[in-house]
Amino acid sequence: MEKLGSLYASALFDLALENGTVDAALEQAVLLRDAIEDEQYSRMLTHPHITAAEKQELLRTAFAGHIQDDLLGFLFLATEKNREVCIIPALTGLIDLIERHMNKTTAKVTTATELDDSQISEMKEMLSEKLDKTVEISLNVDPSIIGGPYVFVDGYYIDWTIRTRLRDLTVHMKEGCGV
């Protein structure tokens, strides 16, 4: 199913390029993905006793006029062919393709506490300079990391967390390697 999601993403990307609607497709794909990831939508879309016509009517009611016909047509096709599980992977793939096309990326950053606007701006600037791309930040707070950031961007992990440094120190001390 993952391969099918990639094929759908490629087709949707090609349509957006052909129609000159890449910016709108990105915005709408994010809106759709976030809405469909909601537990209510995902349960409804994968429920075996809800007919494709009922699913399509719900999708039409929720999204018609808010998303391009190509995206709505994709949703209808996926429900008609009983391929609802491909929707989120296809939308995520579409978002990735468009962001690569636009030389953009999103960094998933985890910190122990909330970052203020200047810290977020500084991190965006540093990552943008290093990656030579426009970087958006998706921030998550996890107090268990104690301090320091954990960054995942473009397949790379950067782990400067205190939790990891303490764990590494513990391993070195147990092995008798010292610091």
Which residue stretches of the chain are H helix? 2-19, 22-36, 39-46, 52-63, 69-80, 87-101, 117-131, 162-174
Dist. CA 179–CA 160, nearest whole Å: 17
Q: Where are the domains of the chain?
A: 2-100, 103-174
Under 8 Å CB-to-CB from 90, ≥6 apart: which residues? 4, 5, 6, 8, 9, 12, 74, 78
Overall fold of domain 103-174: Glutaredoxin (3.40.30)
Per-residue pLDDT of the chain (179 residues; tens, 9 = 90+): 678 989 999 999 999 999 999 999 999 999 999 999 988 888 888 888 999 999 999 999 999 899 999 999 999 999 999 999 999 999 999 999 999 999 999 999 999 999 999 999 999 999 999 999 999 999 999 999 999 999 999 889 999 999 999 999 999 888 876 55
The CATH topology of domain 2-100 is Peroxidase; domain 1 (1.10.520)
DSSP reduced 3-state for 103: coil
Q: pTM (2 decimals)?
A: 0.74
